[in-house]
Structure 1
């Protein structure tokens, strides 16, 4: 029997990660591990980094996995609401002025190699996420490989640079003073330079400090390695910090199972046990995990299936049990013909958009360094045609244009923002107006190379529509599509415009801002506007909800008037799973289907 449900409601969602509901409780479950149990899920992009806090690794394909293998102080359920993960540790607001927070890891929290999680891990996380100890004024742009997006071998060995995108005006970047380590050895106290409205969201799951120090400094003993981390940070020892930062940036990047198994040291309910390049990654229940979110299923394999129709076929053939493919009309039709599955559809927390690359010293020859050309190109994007031909066949009239860079349709502030910005100027294609602007710009080389996922059928169709429309106005749109598009985002000179989705990970009001603040981790097109930066600084310390909306409405107006790029639509979301597995309760926030993977259970049908 097939069960189909539809959900179209959206909450106001915040923090963004590159994308590739029935309310539940906090996710804790006491049903216990079923030895020998296994299921297979599918995702449309391959994993490539266990560090989702770098500009290179910050992608849904990575963070789906990292969410399950790296534990932290909180997470979002599918209500959605923030859940404090007290079985990992606690955080306490000990002072409001100055804003002071103490993080403490529980005594029974250990890494998968048995090493306790403690202050060394928290201190390394602070150093990376704050960048307070970085070499001043260093620009890594000249040391980034345009073919892969990774740092090159020429990267200076004596430079301290954590690639977290932190800025001094926001988030953990506001903690410039080295934290104080508690006498228990499991806690640190952070003192913020000024109040920060989303202070409870700044501390993500840490990576194993002892592994970083062992690899970076050539230390063999775990305890000695952790002490070396503390000594380097508390002493601001650049000679030791530089190699540790370098390893933190790149050492956890791998596209198949690493020979060095210490690189997959985990703290969450699962750990990586097998990884075949571009095929699958397998997670096995972590025997050292002592938290509340203990796994029910011993082994979860995630197959990488970029083609959504192939994912549907794999579900029908019993090769996978859970899929959440990019939705198309063909997908919904194909799912209707499969028995023994449950299908849910609706609007998700991801939105499609096009970013245009700015100059700002990183792309001096980029065509979009000219604002007239940016405006002209935006006038050619067939937003409504994309929605009408590719999205409406999936979810009907609920498919609408998204007219805000900051607000989700239906959220408080969205209508005001859409009415106040210039998005209406791009509701319909204006080829004549675009051609006039292009001529006025004086630009003679009108080539625009667009980066997108070349193995994603919907993106291929979107690119074709954009190419046809823009070429009519005099542009020469060329194909920068790549299967490795995620790693190329933000690489200077690799492309001119990018077509992809931002997926929301948080309800925090400030956490979409690293996309637009100068130098932010998600600022992949080198956009910079002092007025926007000023608004972001004000938002960081604004606790009044009405004032937050007012500031964001003004910021949204500036983004459109700067010709930042265009938003297109909110993603239609389709989740389907077989009757072999239960407790699948998708969230609109990343990691969507994976948010409660520890609660998944195999059913009696799995044994038949």
Structure 2
């Protein structure tokens, strides 16, 4: 981060912020919401809680005077709103906004569609939303305990945006009924013909006045981000994808600098345990054991001058509170992998050994797998080469299948058309809140088919479901952390995926930009972002 006190930031100017594409919706809960949606919403809408670089949540005093759990049985949370907080139409933030969002996202009304159903976790635990005992208070009572309650109502939408399914879906594609951030929406995305979404200083904002006049979120293809920054067409650009695709560290040019952090997400080797050879848990575990995660981390992170540390947890990132390295539950080694494969009936030929590259067979069937990668990604190509060599040492054949990025997830990973895949997962800022569905045991339908939901591996156990459910319900933070890590140990043992390392985040900025950069888990404080004041 290029940190500076507000006094050192000039008043005025427009910051051009590169995004992969202008958002197609301002609904953060919609299926087509993008990172650009999140950025714009953070500038325009109430966040209730701020997060630091370690993901620690604190009350955002611009919106809340306090937020406290006042009862454990039933779990009851009272939000005391800042009385100065108003929407751009002049209405104060209040209980109607909270109640409307609860209704839209609880899953109780199917008319709200996929957005409501996909984000029901937490909202479906709420029993009531009502006015509190004092002015400016909202009281939320839970039917079932929900530990990460601070993740709810973020961002908070005005009641008009959740008044009907139509308002919540189509109504949020290009506009907001009202906003309440340091910036306000200036026209629809792309309305000026420049393929930008522009937000301007909010004249109704009651907090610290935004330093910038406006921010123009400008669509720049990832491959062009570095040149756009170097030519000063944009002032801020995420260069992580440029490094990924080229395999090189983006260089700072005259008037720019590159800032680095670990992103709030990680790269994993996903296993398709629903069908094919990896449906056998012993084979899946053996493949996981055969992977040298340190070598993979070295290959990607060392050239970027980032610590090459393999990630040891599926649910918590290394810079989050409560993180522990649970990888020992796997006991990874080539020797262990070979023993598991032998026991599962996958044998090397009588006159061959794994070191010679021989592929194991079971009867006449070869142990040959396909690795799905993104075409054009130098990172994926480098990792595929290493993985091929590592698995060959234990007699597992691996063929790389590069596919266009546009098809990678929808046509292959989500469709179950893969054996192994290099997949980037976002980390939850409120652990387990968003991750439980990724590891939930698939449901068996009446015809014997499986409904896997968001669990792309198609595997799971009742024990993992139980531990994750207990972690979500544990309102004592230490209990929640303990249960989260117990669940993670079981996930390692089931091997639905293999965490490799936290994704690198490289952000280029103009040298005179202040309070922007590689945010990691932190939420930007948009009112403090701007250009250096002239001395």
Same fold (TM over 0.5): yes
Name 1:458's counterpart in structure 2.
379
Bigger RCO of structures 1 and 2 (CA < 8 A, at least 6 apart):
1
Q: What residue ranges of structure 1 are gaps of 5+ in the alignment?
A: 1-20, 136-156, 217-243, 360-364
Matched position secondary structure for 1:166: coil
Matched, 1:122 2:36: no
Residue number in structure 2 paired with 1:152: none
Match among 179, 194, 218 for residue 266 of structure 1: 179
CA distance in 1, matches of 2:412, 2:156: 24
Distance 2:222 2:335 in 1: 30
1:335 partner SS: coil
Q: Where does residue 125 of structure 2 map in the other structure?
A: 174
Could you tell me how far apart the structure 2 residues matched to 1:410 and 1:77 are? 11
SS in 2 for 1:300: strand
In the alignment, structure 1 residue 391 sits paired with structure 2 residue 311: no
Higher mean alpha-carbon deviation, 198-207 vs 495-504, is at 495-504
**Superposition RMSD in Å:** 4.6
CA contact (8 A) 1:352 1:571 kept: yes
Indicate the SS of the match to 1:207. coil
2:314 matches 1:405: yes
Residue aligning to 1:600: 529
2:200 maps to which residue? 285
How far the C-alpha of 1:399 sits from its partner, in A, is 0.9
- In structure 1, the partner of 2:350 is none
Say if 1:247 and 1:32 are closer, same or farther in 2 by CA, change over 3 A. same
Number of residue-to-residue matches in the alignment: 505
Q: Deviations over 1:308-363 (max 9, x none)?
A: 5x322222211121223117497875525x2333333343433211333454xxxx
> How many Å separate the matches in 1 of 2:38 and 2:363?
41
TM-score of the two chains, using structure 1 as the length reference: 0.68
Q: Alignment partner for residue 466 of structure 2, among 529, 534, 551?
A: 534
* 1:351 and 2:266 matched: yes
Q: CA deviation at 1:495?
A: 5.5
The SS at the match of 1:347 is strand
Judged with a 3 Å threshold, the aligned counterparts in structure 2 of structure 1 residues 205 and 450 are, in CA distance, closer, same or farther, namely same
Question: What is the deviation of 1:559?
Answer: 0.9
8 Å contact from structure 2 (residues 186, 199) kept in 1: yes
What are the ranges of 5 or more consecutive residues in structure 2 without an aligned counterpart?
348-359, 443-451
- Among 322, 325, 330, the alignment partner of 1:422 is 330
Look up the match of 2:356. Answer: none
> 1:60 aligns to what?
35
CA distance in structure 2 between the aligned counterparts of 1:439 and 1:117, rounded to whole angstroms: 65
- In the other structure, the counterpart of 1:94 is 70
Once the two structures are superposed, the pairs formed by residues 439-518 of structure 1 within 5 Å of their partners are: 439-440=361-362, 448=370, 450=372, 452=374, 454=375, 457-459=378-380, 461-462=382-383, 466=387, 473-483=396-406, 491-493=414-416, 497-504=420-427, 506=429, 512-517=435-440
Question: Structure 1 residues 428, 302: CA separation in 2 closer, same or farther (over 3 Å shift)?
Answer: farther
* TM-score, length of structure 2 as denominator length: 0.76
Q: Matched residue of 1:178: which SS?
A: strand
Aligned pair in 2 of structure 1 residues 305, 22: CA closer, same or farther (>3 Å)? closer
CA contact (8 A) 2:87 2:93 kept: yes
Alignment equivalent of 2:118, drawn from 164, 182, 185: 164
Pairwise mapping of residues 201-240 of structure 1 onto structure 2 (< 5 A)?
Answer: 201-213=151-163, 216=164
Q: What is the distance in 1 between the residues matched to 2:131 and 2:396?
A: 61
Distance change (3 Å), C-alpha of 1:197 and 1:481: same
